[in-house]
Structure 1
């Protein structure tokens, strides 16, 4: 009995250690990708920054594009849990808001938080996509997933009866304003606060998408 308990403990401890190793590597990789660029960062660089052996990085991720993909996933979700973005509590709260105007304002706040985590990284992936087919494929996957998510938002908006434009137009407006470029321009380059940006984005969406006659 005690041996069984010990084996379970050892297995749990090993899983925790492996998760901690991956987390350290991904945190280091995110910082290096953003500051140095994808092409200039090696797996050895990531290992060194994370305080890990290079073979450990290879064993955990196999190659650099897998690291990039996992860094992106963690940045989007905010952690390494295997939970789809739309199923996370902050997005479920957005969809649960019955008033479309209030919903878009809330979504703007959530999206701004996501942009804080992802906008610079997406710029890195865009830069890498021109020379690396694997990075280009990742960028296409990212945009396809985002378009699908904005489609979900648009269909839910249409269901409120308050949408002023066709659902496809709503989807495309949301898609065009959530790739990080606006956040980079106004927050990173022009010095807006995240709060000011979220307020402006929410007002932009409500003016363009909500039926003012209702």
Structure 2
């Protein structure tokens, strides 16, 4: 007589629950870093906001700097997929636009959406960088990654033969106008809509860059 049939362990539900827990932790970390400040936010605060034990946060993210890094990545991408921004379909399609005016106009709309997600967190990281080494390292990494991304945009623009300035100037102007400062000043402080800001930014880039 055969013994009882063992059911195969299905880990999909456990993975789904773990993923949901990580998303709650990241959402809580984002909100606290923005409202309370990175330096003043403790892992225990994040755990309480997410409704989990501090040990769960440590198990998922190891420490607060790692939590900040992952919070930034998810905020930039808008999801928890491990796909670099430049490899995402929306940006690949944007870079494939042959009309440089249309490309910079579309990029302004795209960047405005990213700023809507990231500008407040960037302000929080920048504010903490003067006194917190982890925040300073994160800010340096953010700026480095953005410079590399803007260099790619500048190279692709130069390849069209329509770029009115040097590739280096295009890169540096894009880098300087995509860190969230302008969005924060115009939208958060002066009350512009995202649509108005995107239209203005698009005109600025087209006027500055397109021959």
TM-score by length of 1: 0.94
Stretches of 4+ moved more than 4 A in 1? none
Question: For residue 162 of structure 1, what is the aligned residue in structure 2?
Answer: 162
1:192 and 2:189 matched: no
Determine the C-alpha separation between the residues in 2 that align with 1:3 and 1:156: 57
Determine the C-alpha separation between the residues in 2 that align with 1:146 and 1:53: 34
Determine the C-alpha separation between the residues in 1 that align with 2:33 and 2:137: 17
Question: For residue 181 of structure 2, what is the aligned residue in structure 1?
Answer: 181
1:100 to partner: Cα distance: 0.3
Query: Structure 1 stretch 77-86 or stretch 133-142: which is displaced more?
Result: 133-142
Question: For residue 149 of structure 1, what is the aligned residue in structure 2?
Answer: 149
**Aligned residue runs from structure 1 range 44-63, under 5 A:** 44-63=44-63
1:3 to partner: Cα distance: 4.4
**Aligned residue runs from structure 1 range 116-155, under 5 A:** 116-155=116-155
Determine the C-alpha separation between the residues in 2 that align with 1:187 and 1:17: 37
**Aligned residue runs from structure 1 range 102-117, under 5 A:** 102-117=102-117
Determine the C-alpha separation between the residues in 2 that align with 1:35 and 1:106: 31
Task: State the number of aligned residues.
Answer: 207
TM-score by length of 2: 0.95
Let me know the Cα RMSD of the aligned residues.
1.1
Query: Structure 1 stretch 110-119 or stretch 13-22: which is displaced more?
Result: 13-22
Change (3 A) 1:3 1:148: farther
Question: For residue 19 of structure 1, what is the aligned residue in structure 2?
Answer: 19
Deviations 1:15-62 (A, max 9, x none): 211111110000011011111111111111111111111111111111
**Aligned residue runs from structure 1 range 57-76, under 5 A:** 57-76=57-76
* Secondary structure of residue in 2 paired with 1:163: coil
Deviations 1:181-204 (A, max 9, x none): 000000000000000000000000
Determine the C-alpha separation between the residues in 2 that align with 1:49 and 1:89: 33
Which 5+ residue runs of structure 2 have no aligned equivalent?
none
Deviations 1:57-84 (A, max 9, x none): 1111111111111110001000000000
Higher helix share: 1
Question: For residue 38 of structure 2, what is the aligned residue in structure 1?
Answer: 38
